[in-house]
Structure 1
Amino acid sequence: MFVSETEIEVRYAETDQMGVVYHANYIIWFEIGRTKLVKDFGLNYLDMEDAGYLAPVLDVQATFKRPVKYGEMATVRTWVEFYNGIKTIYGYEILNEDNELCVSGTTTHVVVAKDSFRPVSMRKVFPNWDEIYERNKK
């Protein structure tokens, strides 16, 4: 199983009055991590979109264990938790600069046709993605 890592410097705009990262920003960090994972696989979401497909989020789960604060460096770890050709679940961990687990979570996606939003088999429309995801899933 391949795990992608992305470093993020916590910006002031991402925090609340307590200097703690506002909870919704972790979901944005999940997306940054997922995009980096896809890039690390040698793939690109733009190619998918140019071919007429999208991969919307169906579900987000997040568990908050400890805060990440302004001025810290965070690491987003991302991997393919589950994949069956239709549905993909990405796993995430966000660690602080002391390597402590702060947030864990998942996002669930399916590939859909852009014009109809009907789900499609990634195995059929993107066999190269399918091969890479099969090889790298948990």
Structure 2
Amino acid sequence: MLTTESRITVRYAETDQMGVVYHANYLVWCEIGRTELIEELGFRYADMENSGILSPVTSINLSYKAPALYGEDVTVLTWIEAYTGIRITYGYEIRNQAGDVCVTGFSEHACVKKESFRPISVKKHFPEWHEAYERNKKKS
């Protein structure tokens, strides 16, 4: 199972008055991790979108454990939690500079045609992605 590590320095604009990261910013960090994972597998979201296929979020769940603070370096760990050929679930763990887990969670995605939002088979439309996801998904 491939797990990528994305490093982010917490910027002032991402925090509240107490210097704690505002909760919605973790969603952005998960997207950064997801994009890096896909690139590590050798692919690009932009190429998929240019071919008329989108991968919208169908569900997201984050659990907050500890704060990340202004000025800290955080690490976003990202992996493929599950893959069915149509739906992809990415897993996330975000750790602060001390190594404490700040957030755990997952996001579910489907691949759909841009013009109709009808689901497509990744195996049929993107066989290379399918093989990479099968090889790198979390083992049960």
TM-score normalised by the chain length of structure 1: 0.99
Unaligned runs of at least 5 residues, structure 1? none
Counterpart amino acid of 1:48? M
Counterpart amino acid of 2:42? G
SS state at 1:130 partner: helix
**1:95 alignment counterpart:** 95
Counterpart amino acid of 2:39? K
- Which runs of 4 or more aligned residues in structure 1 lie more than 6 Å from their structure 2 counterparts after TM superposition? none
**1:56 alignment counterpart:** 56
For residues 26 and 46 of structure 2, what CA distance do their matches in structure 1 show? 23
For residues 45 and 127 of structure 1, what CA distance do their matches in structure 2 show? 15
Per the TM alignment, residue 4 of structure 1 is displaced from its structure 2 partner at its CA by 0.5
Post-superposition Cα deviations, 1:67-87, rounded to whole Å, max 9, x if no partner, equal 000000000000000001010
Alignment of 1:15-34 (within 5 A): 15-34=15-34
For residues 29 and 46 of structure 2, what CA distance do their matches in structure 1 show? 19
Q: Aligned-pair RMSD on alpha carbons?
A: 0.4
Per the TM alignment, residue 98 of structure 1 is displaced from its structure 2 partner at its CA by 1.2
For residues 18 and 33 of structure 1, what CA distance do their matches in structure 2 show? 26
**1:44 alignment counterpart:** 44
TM-score normalised by the chain length of structure 2: 0.98
Per the TM alignment, residue 99 of structure 1 is displaced from its structure 2 partner at its CA by 1.1
Fraction of identical pairs, as percent: 56
For residues 98 and 130 of structure 2, what CA distance do their matches in structure 1 show? 35
For residues 5 and 16 of structure 1, what CA distance do their matches in structure 2 show? 25
For residues 8 and 25 of structure 2, what CA distance do their matches in structure 1 show? 11
- The number of residues matched between the two structures is 138
For residues 14 and 6 of structure 1, what CA distance do their matches in structure 2 show? 17
Counterpart amino acid of 1:132? A
Post-superposition Cα deviations, 1:14-54, rounded to whole Å, max 9, x if no partner, equal 00011000000001100000000000111000110111100
